[in-house]
Chains A and B, each alone.
Chain A
Amino acid sequence: MRILRPATQFATIAQQGEVAHLGIWVFLATEIMFFGALIFTYVTYRHLHPVDFAAAAAHTELWCGTVNAVLLLTSSLTMVLGIDACTAGRRRIAVRWLAATILLGLGFLGVKSYEYVADYHEQVVPALNFIFRHGEHPPAELFWVFYFIATLLHAVHMTIGLGLVLYMTYRVCRGDFTRFYRAPLEVVGLYWSFVDTVWIFLFPMLYLNGRS
C-alpha cells in the first residue's frame, strides 16, 4: 500500500480531499452553464419552429438513443458500486465495477458511432450531405445542427471520462486509495454522473420530440 502525503499547499490529506470535492462541483457548475447555453438556444428555436423541429426529430434513430440511455444510466450505477467497493477496501471488486463502467461507456460510443453512420446514409448531416425531405423547411436543418453539436460535445465529454475512469482503475490497482482518502475516484465519479445527466436531457430533446 502506497502512503499518500498531502500536496505541499495542504495541511492534511483530509483538506486535500475537501478541496478536490469543492473543485469538481464548481467545475460542474461551469459545465452546466456551458451545456445550458446550448440547451437554451435549442429550446428557443424549438419554441419558434415547433412543427419543423418535431418533424425532423422523428427521423432520429430512437432505438439507438434508448439503448444508449440504458447503457449510460447503468454505467453510473457500476461507477458508484466501484466507489463503494473501494470505500469498503475491496480493491479487486472495485476494479471489476470500474471495468464494467468502461465497457458500458465504450458500448455507448459504439452505438453512437453506428448511429452517426446511419445518419450519414439518411443524408441528415448539415454542411455535409443534408437534403430536405418533402414538406421540410430550413428549421429542420437547424434541428440537425443542434443534434450534432450536442451529441458530439457529449461524446467528447464521454471520451475524456473514459480516459479518467481508466486512469482511476490503474490507481485503484496500485492501491492509492484508502477508506480515508479516495477523493480523485469520487471526483471522476461525479464527472461521470454529470455526463450521464446531460444525456438525460439530450435524450428527450433529440429523440422523443415529435413522437408522442
Chain B
Amino acid sequence: MTSFADTAALPKNYLNERWSVRSWLLTTDHKRIALLYFASITMFFFIGGFAATLIRLHLVVPSGGLLQPDTYNRMFTMHGVVMVWFFLIPSIPATLGNFLVPLMIGARDLAFPRINLASWYVFNVSGAMVLLALFMGGIDSGWTFYTPLSTTYTNGYVTLALLAVFINGFSTLMTALNFVVTVHKMRAPGMSWFRLPLFIWALYATSIVMLLATPVLAMTVLLVALERMAGVGIFDPALGGDPLLFQHMFWFYSHPAVYIMILPAMGVISEVIPCFARKPVFGYAGMTYALMAIAVIGFLVWGHHMFTAGISVFSAVVFSLMSFLVAVPSAIKVFNWTATLHKGRISFQAPMLYALGFIGLFTVGGLTGLIVATAALDIHLQDTYFVIAHFHYVMVGGAVSAFFAGLHYWWPKITGRLYHEIWAQIAAGLMFLGFNLTFFPQFILGYLGMPRRYYTYAPEWQVWNVLSSAGASILAVAYLMPLFYLSWSLFRAERAAPNPWRATGLEWQTTSPPAEDNFSRTPTVTEGPYEYNSSTGGCVAQNGALYE
C-alpha cells in the first residue's frame, strides 16, 4: 500500500504536472475538464437523489405523511429538472466522454479545448440558476413545463428554471460540437471509421442528436419564458396560440433526449463486455449501424408521448409504428452483447456486474417501452406509475448503471489508482437489488391505475408503495457507497498499471494517469478496437509503448 505523499515521485502526469487552483479552473486539458464535470454532476446527482428520497418517504403512507401537497409538487419537479438536465444528459458524455474521446482516437486534446472549458462554466451558471430557483421556493410545473400550467397558473420560479434550461443547452451544444469535429478531424493515423471503439461511435451518434434537438428545446423554453414574462399568448388558445404545439416542440427535443442519455451508456457497455468476456464484440459493424439508426429513428417517435393529448388516430398509429421500429436496432444491440458473452471467458469484476445489470434492466425498460408505445394500451397506462417504472428502467437501470460501469472500468486510468474490488462488487449487487425493488412494484402500481404526480393514493396500493420505498433506501445506500470507497482509493489504494484489465484500445496504451499531452508520440493504428484474441495480444497501436 502506498500513501498520498509519494505522488511527487510519480512520472509527470495530468494530475501532478501543476497544482494551483488556477491551473484547474483555467485548464484546457480535456482530462481535467472531465474531472471538473465529475464534481459538478456528482453534486447534482445527490441533490436530485435527495428530492427522490423525500418523495419515496412521503409515499410510504397513503395519505402522504411528510410533505405539503405543494412541496411534493416542487420536489418531483426538482428531481426531474436536476436529474434530466444536470445529471443524465451531461453524465457520460461530459465526464467519461471528455476524458476518453481524445485518448481513444489518439489525439492530444479535443478540437476546441477553450470551448470545452467554457461549456463547464456555462453548465455551472445554469446549475446555479436552478439551485437559486430551488432555494427561493422551487418550481411546481413538473420538469415538462406543460403550458398553460407553466405559463399561466403556476406560481413557482418557472421563468428562472426555463432560462437555466436554455443556458444549460449551450453547454450541451459545446460538448457535442467538440466531439463531432474531433472525431471527424483528429483521429490518429490508421484510426479509420470502422476501427473506432463503439464508445466513440456512441458519443458521435449522441452528439448529432444533441446538436439537432437541443436548439429546438432552447427556442421552446424561450417562447414559454417570454409568454410568462410578457403575458403574450404564444401557447394560449384564448389569444390564438396552441398548447398542443408546445407539446410537439417539447417532445421533439425530449424524446431524442432519452437517446442522448442511453446511447453513451450503450457505448460504455460495448467497451466493458468484450473486455471481461475476452472476446471481440459480436457484429461490430451492425453495432455502429444500430447506434446511428437509433439516433435517426429517435427523432421520429415523439408523438408517443401525446397519444391521449388529442392528436389524430392516424398520427397515433404512425408514431406507434415508428416507436416499434426503434426497438429493432435496440434489440440488435442487446443480442450482440449477449452473443459477445457466448463462450467468452467471463470474469465478474465490478464493471462487468454493472454491465450485466445494464443488459437486463435495459431489456425490461425497452420491452415495457413497446407496451406504452402501443396506442391502445397507452390509454390505460398514460400518466400512471407504469410509465415512471418504464423510463426509470431505461434511465436509471440503463444509463446510471452504465455510468457506474464506466466509472469503475476507467477509474484506474483516470486516477492511477485501483478501487477496492469487493466493496465495488457489493455496491453493484445492492444497486441491482435496490433498483428492482424500487421500480418493479411501480409497474404493478401503474397497471392497477395509480396515477403519477399525486401526493396521496388509495390505501390498497400501500404494500407496493412500501416495497418501493424500501427498495429506494437500499438504492440510496448503494449510491453512497462508491462515494466513500472511490474517495478512499484516491489516497490509499494500490497504484494502477497502464493496463490493469488487459484491455485493447489506445487509452490503455498510455500511462495511468495519462501525461498532460496523452501520448509521448502520435500512435499509428493497425487493428480494429476489440482484438481480444489476436496474436499480438490485443494491442491496437503497433509502434511500441506510447509512454516513456
Contacts and interface: CB of A to CB of B under 8 A. Distances in A.
Contacts of B226: 145, 149
A158 to B, nearest CB: 18
Contact of B216 (A33, A138, A145): A33
B181 A26 contact: yes
A139 B237 CA distance: 10
A124 to B, nearest CB: 13
B109 A137 contact: no
B82 to A, nearest CB: 24
Interface stretch (B240-248, B429-437, B460-468): B240-248
A41 B239 CA distance: 15
Contact of B219 (A7, A37, A45, A52): A37
Given A30-B173, A37-B249, A19 B240 contact: no
Nearest to B102: A9
Contacts of A141: 232-233, 239-240
A27 interface: yes
B184 interface: yes
B107 A9 contact: yes
Contacts of A44: 242, 245
Interface stretch (B207-215, B320-328, B336-344, B371-379): B207-215
B186 interface: yes
A211 B177 CA distance: 41
Contacts of B177: 23, 26-27, 30
B185 A33 contact: no
A34 B217 CA distance: 8
A1 interface: no
Nearest to B213: A33
B458 interface: no
Contacts of B220: 37
B231 interface: yes
Interface in A36-58: 36-38, 40-41, 44-45, 48-49, 52
B245 A22 contact: no
Interface residues of B, number: 40
Contacts of A139: 239-240
A114 B213 CA distance: 36
A137 B240 contact: yes
B186 A34 contact: no
B23 interface: no
A41 B232 contact: no
A142 interface: yes
Contacts of A9: 102, 107-111, 113, 186
Contact of A19 (B173, B185, B213, B522): B185
A8 B110 CA distance: 11
Contact of A142 (B112, B184, B234): B234
Contacts of A7: 113
A31 B109 contact: no
Contacts of A36: 215-216
Contacts of B110: 9
Given A8-B517, A141-B233, A23 B181 contact: yes
Nearest to B112: A23
A22 B108 CA distance: 19
Contacts of B113: 7, 9
A142 B249 CA distance: 18
Contacts of A8: 108-109, 517
B214 A30 contact: yes
B231 A127 contact: yes
Given A138-B239, A149-B226, A33 B232 contact: no
Contact of B232 (A22, A26, A127): A127
A23 B109 CA distance: 15
Given A9-B107, A9-B186, A45-B242, A126 B230 contact: yes
A15 interface: yes
Contact of A49 (B173, B184, B219, B240): B240
B215 A30 contact: yes
Nearest to A38: B219
B180 interface: yes
B9 interface: no
A145 B234 contact: yes
A193 B49 CA distance: 46
A116 B242 CA distance: 27
A119 to B, nearest CB: 15
B238 interface: yes
A149 B230 CA distance: 12
Interface string B108-150: 1111110000000000000000000000000000000000000
Contact of A37 (B108, B215, B233, B242): B215
A144 to B, nearest CB: 9
Interface string B221-259: 001001000111110001111100100010000000000
A11 interface: yes
Contacts of B238: 138
B218 interface: yes
A12 B240 CA distance: 56
B111 A23 contact: yes
A173 to B, nearest CB: 24
A18 B219 CA distance: 30
Contacts of A37: 215-216, 218-220, 249
Contacts of A4: none
A142 B109 contact: no
A29 interface: yes
A127 B226 CA distance: 10
B215 A33 contact: yes
Contacts of B249: 37, 40-41
Contacts of A38: 219, 223
Contacts of A27: 177
Interface string B498-521: 000000000000000000010000
A41 B108 contact: no
- Smallest CB-CB A-B distances: 3 pairs: A139-B240, A127-B230, A34-B215
Given A9-B113, A26-B180, A149-B226, 8 more contacts: A34-B215, A38-B219, A40-B249, A126-B230, A141-B232, A141-B233, A142-B233, A149-B223
Interface of B: 102, 107-113, 173, 177, 180-181, 184-186, 211-216, 218-220, 223, 226, 230-234, 238-242, 245, 249, 517, 522
Interface of A: 7-9, 11, 15, 18-19, 22-23, 26-27, 29-31, 33-34, 36-38, 40-41, 44-45, 48-49, 52, 126-127, 137-139, 141-142, 145, 149
9 contacts: A7-B113, A31-B215, A36-B216, A37-B218, A41-B249, A45-B242, A48-B240, A52-B240, A142-B232
